Structure 1
Amino acid sequence: MTACRSICFYTPSTDPSGMGAHMVDLIAEFAGTADVALMMRPTVGGRRLLDRAAELGARTVELPSPRDPGFSAVVSDSLVTSPADVFHCHVGTGCEDWDGVRLARRAGCPAVVQSQHLPYLVSSPRKRRAFHHAIEEVDRLIAVSEGLRRTYSRIGVPPERLTTVPNGVAPLADRIGREAARAALGLDPRQPVVLTVGRLTHMKGQWHLVDAVPGLLGRFPDLAVVLVGDGPLREALEKRAAGLGVGGAVRFPGHRGDARQLLAAADVFVLPSRHEGLPLVALEAMEEGLPVVGTRVIGTEEVVEDGVTGALVRAGDPAALGAALARLLADPALRRRQGDAGRRRYLAGFTRERMARDTAAVYESVLRGALW
């Protein structure tokens, strides 16, 4: 896959979520051809990723908090003991701690690459200046979608320093099927099911999905709307559903390690986000053969082809979201047609293998420049 002898993945995030899954997917692709390491903090989410990386054959380095006096020594000593050709940092908005990147440069890593997983939507001039100062140590920035890349171009990142490598996901290896997935969620085999997966946060927009449910129940009285995931808005969302009189139809199974397998329970997948980078869960739903109803926001609009693989609606519009879901719930043939088209779209452009190949090309480009 890559001629790099060694790659060190690093994130300062304490809750890497989809970004962490992206990193593990790259580790899975590269571990057979290069010495691969993962550096991150062993938080609850971080621990899961460190353990998975170790299972894949990667060397893992558990980091203390960047505020810990020993942080620099742990990073530097690891890079001296096991030098990396490529140090690949992964961040969300770009506002996280940057010490890992600076330490990698000081340790002499020939290529320092950074993936941006969320669009730059920060308005503070001070934070913008801090961002530009921080990326002085980075050879190349990778944007996970074209729309995301444009947000960094708008704040003055030179185009030659930005490369777009769209996200990809691996095919699901252990499917359990519709009946088992519904049983696992306590759903009736015959009822219509709309499902979403993600942290329960303002960014993911589940509030608008809950607000669409009363209208949907008028047409589909036995509908189940399943919000897989947990987060700071769970209690508020549960209260909102109860207040609207739809508490029995809206299900909150919480965080599930088998979330991807549970996609098989759905008739329609929905992603009501306010913004994204490039949503892995939409790719997973397409790989499962589900039509996807999403919002017309950065990332999602590059995944969902409106009217072909699902539907795109304005963010923050429960009525439009409900109408798009109703069209699909009422038409099994349309669901099958759009679900099949989504799977073909996934296979053509959003596989893990393609993502890893394009990422390796970025590594090689930077390393060639480092040798000149």
Structure 2
Amino acid sequence: MAEPRSICFYTPSTDPSGMGAHVLDLIAAFAGTVDVSLMARALPQTQWLLDRARDLGAETVPLPSPRDPRFAPLVTAFLAARPADVFHCHVGTGSENWDGVRLARTAGCPVVVQTQHLPYALSSPRRRQAYFRAIAPVDRLIAVSAGLRRTYERIGVPTESFTTVANGIAPLVHPVPRAEARRVLGLDAHQPVVVTVGRLTHMKAQWQLLDAAPDLVARFPGLAVVLLGDGPLREALVERAASLGVAHAVRFPGHRPDARLLLAAADVFVLPSKCEGMPLAALEAMEAGLPVVATRVVGSEEVVVDGVTGALVPFGRPAELGAALAELLADPALRRRQGAAARRRYLAGFTRDRMAQETAAVYAELLQTAAQPALTGSAR
């Protein structure tokens, strides 16, 4: 199979978050063996992605909005100066602008790939038509979970257009001791601790965890519920915790770049999301050897094995979420057993190396096809 000599990653996202972490893992895996570049929006909330990609050895191209008249000339000029064998676009829900894909195809990139990071959740027929127009230049779509892929198949995307490559993460190189993580968060050494990580948004649905907190605090008086992350719902969640009488037990440390390190403070990890693609936070918790309690939604249900590596509960039922957390908080042996199983599951199927190898296989297959002469005898 053919192998790429150069890969250009691109995301039009204005808030890349977990998608950005995914792109960085691919850059880290490929940099040093092929020429790697990244095009991303030039915004305060995306600068971290450009900076870290540069640190990993990628050439970076800060881009204005696709609506800016400078956008197309910048993309075209870069791809002319540094031709890419593979142009790999990363999008979330399907609402982003795909002009980069169209420009890459026009520039002659042999292979154009697009990874979908979130389930298709748009109901507008106009937006659906726009999505199909946008993916027309794409050679292959990659889904980060099988459940996510099915949401696109339901709107008519052909099955053969997709390859599923489950998310993967690199192991944590320098973990911190439990005591240090708890010190940083202002937690006692022996109190029970539940942690969730994610932006404070409707999609992450942290309200369910807060609604479960009163019963948990009544049963485990020293309990700390830690919501690592920030977002538009922070004030509403703080007010909700106060109205439920659990403000003393709920911590809002805000966004922390060391959030993954601080998982060492947890006894149990919880992810009460309304929807996911394939949650990196849950994979990070598994790598840390934590049992994971999650809602049974797309992505999460492919990560957590109910009763083995944690628990899956229906979305919108805080009492069941609380019961699953209580079972683990009350049983240290169960926590250890399920945490160890979670780490084994991470090692078996959710590593960065596995993700990069499967992504490289997609590139190689498409490059080989692109190199084959057409029936007329001309190259593609």
Q: Following TM superposition, by how much is the alpha carbon of 1:65 offset from its aligned partner in structure 2, in angstroms?
A: 1.2
SS of the residue corresponding to residue 181 of structure 2 reads: helix
1:291 aligns with 2:265: no
Q: Which residue of 2 aligns with 1:90?
A: 90
Is the Cα–Cα contact under 8 Å of residues 170 and 352 in structure 1 kept in the other structure?
yes
Q: Which residue of 2 aligns with 1:208?
A: 208
Q: Which residue of 1 aligns with 2:375?
A: none
Q: Which residue of 1 aligns with 2:376?
A: none
Q: Following TM superposition, by how much is the alpha carbon of 1:2 offset from its aligned partner in structure 2, in angstroms?
A: 8.1
In structure 1, C-alpha distance between the alignment counterparts of 2:2 and 2:20, rounded to whole Å: 21
SS of the residue corresponding to residue 344 of structure 1 reads: helix
SS of the residue corresponding to residue 137 of structure 1 reads: coil
When the two chains are superposed, the root-mean-square deviation of aligned CA atoms in Å is 1.0
Q: Which residue of 1 aligns with 2:45?
A: 45
1:300 aligns with 2:300: yes
Equivalent residue letter for 2:226? V
Equivalent residue letter for 2:364? E
Equivalent residue letter for 2:103? L
In structure 1, C-alpha distance between the alignment counterparts of 2:257 and 2:135, rounded to whole Å: 35
Is the Cα–Cα contact under 8 Å of residues 278 and 299 in structure 1 kept in the other structure?
yes
SS of the residue corresponding to residue 204 of structure 1 reads: coil
TM-score (norm 1): 0.99
Unaligned segments of structure 2, at least 5 residues: 373-380
Q: Which residue of 2 aligns with 1:185?
A: 185
Equivalent residue letter for 1:304? V
Q: Which residue of 1 aligns with 2:252?
A: 252
Is the Cα–Cα contact under 8 Å of residues 294 and 312 in structure 2 kept in the other structure?
yes
SS of the residue corresponding to residue 182 of structure 2 reads: helix
Is the Cα–Cα contact under 8 Å of residues 17 and 45 in structure 1 kept in the other structure?
no
1:76 aligns with 2:84: no
Q: Following TM superposition, by how much is the alpha carbon of 1:3 offset from its aligned partner in structure 2, in angstroms?
A: 2.2
SS of the residue corresponding to residue 200 of structure 2 reads: coil
In structure 2, C-alpha distance between the alignment counterparts of 1:182 and 1:2, rounded to whole Å: 49
**What do residues 182-206 of structure 1 show as CA deviations (whole Å, max 9, x unaligned)?**
0000000110000000000000010
**What do residues 183-233 of structure 1 show as CA deviations (whole Å, max 9, x unaligned)?**
000000110000000000000010110111001011001100000000000
Q: Which residue of 2 aligns with 1:12?
A: 12
Q: Following TM superposition, by how much is the alpha carbon of 1:339 offset from its aligned partner in structure 2, in angstroms?
A: 0.2
Q: Which residue of 1 aligns with 2:55?
A: 55
Q: Which residue of 2 aligns with 1:282?
A: 282
User: Structure 1 residues 147-156 or 261-270, which shifts more?
Assistant: 147-156
Q: Following TM superposition, by how much is the alpha carbon of 1:44 offset from its aligned partner in structure 2, in angstroms?
A: 2.5
In structure 1, C-alpha distance between the alignment counterparts of 2:201 and 2:2, rounded to whole Å: 37
SS of the residue corresponding to residue 60 of structure 1 reads: strand
TM-score (norm 2): 0.97
Q: Which residue of 2 aligns with 1:163?
A: 163
Within 5 Å, give how 1:22-33 maps onto structure 2.
Answer: 22-33=22-33
In structure 2, C-alpha distance between the alignment counterparts of 1:138 and 1:2, rounded to whole Å: 19
In structure 1, C-alpha distance between the alignment counterparts of 2:86 and 2:6, rounded to whole Å: 7
SS of the residue corresponding to residue 175 of structure 1 reads: coil
**What do residues 139-170 of structure 1 show as CA deviations (whole Å, max 9, x unaligned)?**
00000000001111111111111000000000
In structure 1, C-alpha distance between the alignment counterparts of 2:3 and 2:339, rounded to whole Å: 37
Q: Identity percentage over the alignment?
A: 72
Q: Which runs of 4+ in 1 moved over 3 A?
A: none
In structure 1, C-alpha distance between the alignment counterparts of 2:108 and 2:336, rounded to whole Å: 53
User: Structure 1 residues 119-128 or 17-26, which shifts more?
Assistant: 119-128
Q: Following TM superposition, by how much is the alpha carbon of 1:366 offset from its aligned partner in structure 2, in angstroms?
A: 1.0
Equivalent residue letter for 2:78? S
In structure 2, C-alpha distance between the alignment counterparts of 1:269 and 1:185, rounded to whole Å: 15
Unaligned segments of structure 1, at least 5 residues: none
Q: Following TM superposition, by how much is the alpha carbon of 1:177 offset from its aligned partner in structure 2, in angstroms?
A: 1.2
Q: Which residue of 2 aligns with 1:113?
A: 113
In structure 2, C-alpha distance between the alignment counterparts of 1:97 and 1:5, rounded to whole Å: 27
Is the Cα–Cα contact under 8 Å of residues 2 and 33 in structure 1 kept in the other structure?
no
In structure 1, C-alpha distance between the alignment counterparts of 2:44 and 2:257, rounded to whole Å: 13
1:338 aligns with 2:338: yes
Q: How many residues align?
A: 372
